[in-house]
Amino acid sequence: MTDPRALRPPASVPRAMTIAGSDSGGGAGIQADLKTFNALRVFGTSALTALTAQNTEGVHGVHLLPAEFVTAQIDVVLDDIGTDAVKTGMLATADIVAAVAERLAYWRRRLGPFPVVVDPVMIAKGGAPLLDASAQAALREALLPLATVVTPNRHEAEQLTGLRIQSLDDARRAAAAIKAMGPAWVVVKGGHVDEEGSEAVDLLYDGQQWQELRAERIRTASTHGTGCTFSAAIAAYLARGEGVPRAVALAKRYITGAIRHAFPLGRGHGPTNPFYPWDEPGAPAGADGSRSANRSAEEALRQTMGRE
């Protein structure tokens, strides 16, 4: 008997899965990822790895889910809905990292080689550790070789490589060391490098060529979830069919706009605004934050999606 799934037409909407922890404050983790997917017109699915009691001031409690339940979520969703891209965030333990890596390898064999964006979440904005030492080793050995793109910030790149990063040259050395761990592309984010400078410079490296992605450094406390939003945006653009360099460049522009248009919430590090392109009814902003009341909604949508 023919499997009815074989008779279904291809998905009419880009799909992306996030495998990450929950942020009860809504600014990071699964919540930020799904908001970003939605803002960029990608259908988002999720597999939770952990629940956190968290707000803008920090992480106040963590409840980890069993690795077998994490993989159960991945399996039932990908078996039914499939995906065009996956991103990982907070994975917490070596067991979860290994289990996620094994299932992603399996589903790539089943569904085809969909891109995987690895955000190596290790430390919360407030300083709480989110990945133990054995999990860091599992990340290097099992997950990074599967990554299409890995997106460490300065602190995560230092943890992964053991190198100290204080300059762009240091970041280049770290990116090269991370590339040797197996990912196809490395983005070392510049938000915590040269923090007194006027620009935030991300480095993109594929083992041969370097690209510097520059944007204005916005002075604000509303930076909670920036790494989650950035990596989710890369996954969304990859799901939409963009190549890695363009997906990363569009995501850089998108997260800069989300920071620029953030609204103050809470007493600590507030969230970014992933829906800023759609703040004006009928006239969504472009990915660079620009708006024009006279342009058509269709033109604005093309701008947001990077089709300029």
- Give the pLDDT mean for 98-118: 98
Mind listing the domains of the chain with CATH numbers?
4-274 (3.40.1190.20)
- 225 among known catalytic residues: yes
Q: What is the pLDDT of residue 190?
A: 82
Highest mean pLDDT out of 112-126, 135-149, 189-203: 135-149
Q: What tens digit of pLDDT does each residue of 42-98 get?
A: 999 999 999 999 998 988 999 999 999 999 999 999 999 999 999 999 999 999 999
Confidence of residue 279 (pLDDT cuts 50, 70, 90): confident
Catalytic residue among 225, 257, 286, 306: 225
Catalytic residue among 44, 89, 227, 257: 227
- 27 among known catalytic residues: no
Residue 291, pLDDT > 70, answer no
**Residue 25 burial by CB count (10 A; 0-12/13-18/19+): exposed, middle or buried?**
buried
Beta bridge partners of 17: 45, 86
Q: What tens digit of pLDDT does each residue of 130-160 get?
A: 788 899 999 999 999 999 999 999 999 999 9
Catalytic residue among 88, 226, 256, 304: 226
* Residue 113: both structure tokens together: 């080689």
Residue 125, pLDDT > 70, answer no
- 227 among known catalytic residues: yes
Catalytic residue among 18, 49, 223, 229: 223
- 228 among known catalytic residues: yes
Residue 25, pLDDT > 60, answer yes
pLDDT over 90 for what percent of the chain? 66
Q: What is the pLDDT of residue 306?
A: 55
Catalytic residue among 189, 190, 256, 272: 189
- Give the pLDDT mean for 12-17: 94
Q: For residue 268, count other CB atoms closer than 10 A to its CB.
A: 15
Task: Report DSSP state, residue 142.
Answer: I
- 189 among known catalytic residues: yes
User: Do residues 255 and 223 lie in contact, with contact meaning Cβ atoms separated by under 8 Å?
Assistant: no
- Give the pLDDT mean for 266-278: 89
Q: What tens digit of pLDDT does each residue of 227-260 get?
A: 999 999 999 999 999 999 999 999 999 999 999 9
Confidence of residue 216 (pLDDT cuts 50, 70, 90): confident
Burial string for 209-228 (b: 16+ CB within 10 Å, else e) reads eeeebebebeeeebbbbbbb
Residue 7, pLDDT > 80, answer no
User: Do residues 19 and 46 lie in contact, with contact meaning Cβ atoms separated by under 8 Å?
Assistant: yes
If you average pLDDT over every residue of the chain, what do you get?
Answer: 86
The closest alpha carbon to 97, from 134, 124, 123, 125, belongs to 134
Q: Please, what is the angle between helix 226-239 and helix 29-39, to 10°?
A: 40
Those residues with Cβ within 8 angstroms of residue 48's Cβ, 6 or more apart along the chain or in another chain: 20, 21, 22, 30, 65, 70, 73
